[in-house]
Amino acid sequence: MGRFLTAESVTEGHPDKICDQISDAVLDEVYKQDPNGRVAVETVVKGDTCILAGELTTSAKFDLEQVVRKVVKKIGYTKEWGIFNYEDITIIQLVSQQSPDIAIGVDVRKNKELGAGDQGIMAGYATNETKEFMPLPIVLAHKLTRRLDEVRKHELAYLGPDGKSQVTIEYGDCAPKRIEALVIGAQHKEGVDYGELKCDILNYVIKPVCGDLIDDKTKIFINATGNFVVGGPVADTGLTGRKIILDSYGPIAYHGGGAFSGKDPTKVDRSAAYMCRYIAKNIVAAGLADRCVVELSYVIGYHEPLSLYVETFGTGKLSEEELERIVRKEFPLTPGGIIKHLNLRQPIYSKTAVYGHFGRDDSDFTWERTDKAESLKKYFVDKGVLK
């Protein structure tokens, strides 16, 4: 018997991901005009209604309603998919300025650094089991939902914007071996033949992504209950930040608990989580460990982390204590240092809001660089002795 690990993903038309994309689109609009703006915006969608609630402190001028409609249109929610469509949705705005009690913790005062925007715990993970330095289940789950979105826009016009994937990988000797189970849920128009849909999903989505890892024992489930006609916000309520596990590493690695989308990088929920991933990935890329978790914690208004924790699960070439000392020496850990090093005051966030924040080959995802790996190698000499 092997061991089994599972991860899931959702398409851009899933109700929760609609909300993440809207919240991050607001952040991008602010950053196009005001790189020092503050954003904390949550979105709720249900039926024919979209609610924006949160705080904006910015000199940027733009129409929130048009931001929402543009995102919904880009996803593909037109009138043919029901009452939630970019033309007819009702948009309610409950947005105010950031609380001064929060702002004072972040504001840079004379001779002081940028403080953390809140207390919190953040974690990052990396593994050498894939070229993305990510767990294989989450890599495949995201590739399946991205492919599902691509084919509905180009090859299979009867598919709708809402969809999900789930992948179970069998591991042996700590390495992925094969796909044990694979699940696809794909919204579709009324009257589509179920046999045709299953065949199309298998040939257009599953085989191009997972073909080499499927065998005759793999269990494949496509729209397991038969129909998936009613989807999106008509079927389920969506909310920003409700998919934090698939946003990160799947239920395989630690997660501090804070969501990412709709938050500017003064919120360490986002920026420090990106730095934790950057550190963990560079440690693994340097060959100092096969797997690595990095955890940081902060308190509002204070710039230095309260704690730093590194775990390599017995795969480290150096001890965790040694790695923690190296991290403190080689990486900026203050909110201001993180923002500067990763160049986070940019309008890059809308594309992070679907298919995961990590393991992506995109030059704007600065936390995915392995530019520190070479400098980390200097700490390892034969048998793990520090210079």
pLDDT of residue 64: 96
**In angstroms, rounded to a whole number, what is the distance separating the alpha carbons of residues 282 and 260?**
21
> What dihedral angle (degrees, nearest 10) is formed by the CA atoms of 217, 221, 225, 230?
180
**In angstroms, rounded to a whole number, what is the distance separating the alpha carbons of residues 273 and 267?**
10
DSSP type of residue 203: I
Domains of the chain: 3-10+136-230 (3.30.300.10), 15-106 (3.30.300.10)
Amino acid at 215: D
- Give the pLDDT confidence of 68-111 residue by residue, as tens digits: 999 999 999 999 999 999 999 999 999 998 665 555 556 655 44
pLDDT of residue 387: 47
pLDDT of residue 382: 46
First-to-last C-alpha distance (Å) of the chain: 43
Interacting residues of 194 by C-beta distance below 8 A, sequence separation 6+: 223, 226, 227
- Which residue in the block uniquely carries the two structure tokens 């797997």? 291
Mean pLDDT of the chain: 93
Neighbours of 217 (CB within 10 A): 10
- Give the pLDDT confidence of 248-295 residue by residue, as tens digits: 999 988 898 899 999 999 999 999 999 999 999 999 999 999 999 999
| Cross-strand partners of 181 | 168, 219
- Supply 155's token pair: 């090859």
| Cross-strand partners of 46 | 49
Phi and psi at residue 171, to the nearest 5°:
-110, 150
pLDDT of residue 110: 45
pLDDT of residue 107: 61
pLDDT of residue 104: 53
Could you tell me the pTM of the whole model? 0.94
pLDDT of residue 7: 97
DSSP type of residue 213: G
- Supply 40's token pair: 């904390």
The residues of the chain scoring below 50 in pLDDT are 110-111, 382, 385-387
- Supply 373's token pair: 């790996």
**In angstroms, rounded to a whole number, what is the distance separating the alpha carbons of residues 278 and 342?**
9
